[in-house]
Structure 1
């Protein structure tokens, strides 16, 4: 399961017994972008009993692993960087030369944050932060890849915070997260299904979505 020498691996340790629609769309987006960028995406700690949703079947760039991050990289702990909102040091382009594996605790995008990452923090991985504003999991992976692979400093990445999405002529909803801003000024989200899911569940709290 180890990546080729020099190839970065992005790991989401799935910390839920189920996999909701919101997460599956984010994981599919991460897999597609990782494949195009020449990096590996690994979804670890997936229960063997978990039935993957259809949109994750045969998606290019996704590797499923039932083992935990501790087991998979037991001999390379020093090469693992945990993206941790509670870390004291921000992720920098130089970290791309130090670490090969970048670890995320799914699901990062809880609102309010439930500090799921604390379960991974206890394992002793060195941590880095991606700024003070909560991100969705796919955004966190996207930003990390831009920093460690493209060598773009954290503060130089264009962001849009808490964007407002129009539900219909009379209603809109504010997303409680930070996103990378696209060239047309819009927040980058999973292309297939995310806006529709947000619209469908606009009257529910984001805690129910996640």
Structure 2
């Protein structure tokens, strides 16, 4: 399965770098591409950590992409959309080749920024439940479903409390898949980022450049 992320933020915050890095680890560099970067973008504008991991990126829109020399068929793209009326199911694997995600940082309460892509492209929409996820969590959830696990059989933790020292913690306003220890799966380095910036709110971290 290929994942297309229309990068809709200005630049790359540390939060975004960690999420994109984790997606590459989870699905492989060949299965992720960032699209719609500003037309003036050059390689020096892409964080070195992402380039070193083999990140694919382009200033083209998703509808102008080719993968492995094959022009993308619009009918094979599904927008992962919290406002979609149809849930993603394992059987969708037979008709979906590409998932499109809005590369936006979470906001609480959620704003419908995915709606920009919904109106622009008119792609098939698929929903991953009714709560907001981080980009890497959405990819992880979609991949598990396409690999055969029903959404209702995936174990999630909503709005987990992340403790960064003995006395302090912060609530993450997102839904996460949990690991075998019932702990939310965060991108590598995310817990350290939260601890490092303990004096900042989660909203501040999301928009930090």
Q: CA deviation at 1:108?
A: 5.3
Q: 2:47 aligns with which of 45, 53, 61?
A: 53
Q: Which moved more, 1:158-167 or 1:45-54?
A: 45-54
What is the RMSD of the two structures over their aligned residues, measured on CA atoms?
1.8
User: Where do 1:64-143 residues align within 5 Å?
Assistant: 64-72=57-65, 76-107=73-104, 109-122=106-119, 123-143=121-141
Match of 2:6 in 1: 13
Unaligned stretches of 5+ in structure 2? none
Q: CA deviation at 1:189?
A: 0.8
Contact 2:78 2:126 in 1 (8 A): yes
Q: Which has the higher helix share?
A: 2
Residue aligned with 1:102, SS: strand
Unaligned stretches of 5+ in structure 1? 1-7
Q: Which moved more, 1:70-79 or 1:93-102?
A: 70-79
With the length of structure 2 as denominator, give the TM-score of the two structures: 0.88
Q: CA deviation at 1:168?
A: 1.5
Rounded Cα–Cα distance in structure 1 between residues aligned with 2:56 and 2:47: 14
4+ runs of 1 displaced by more than 4 Å? none
Structure 1 residues 203 and 111, CA, compared in 2 at 3 Å: closer, same or farther? farther
* Paired residue total: 198
Contact 1:134 1:177 in 2 (8 A): yes
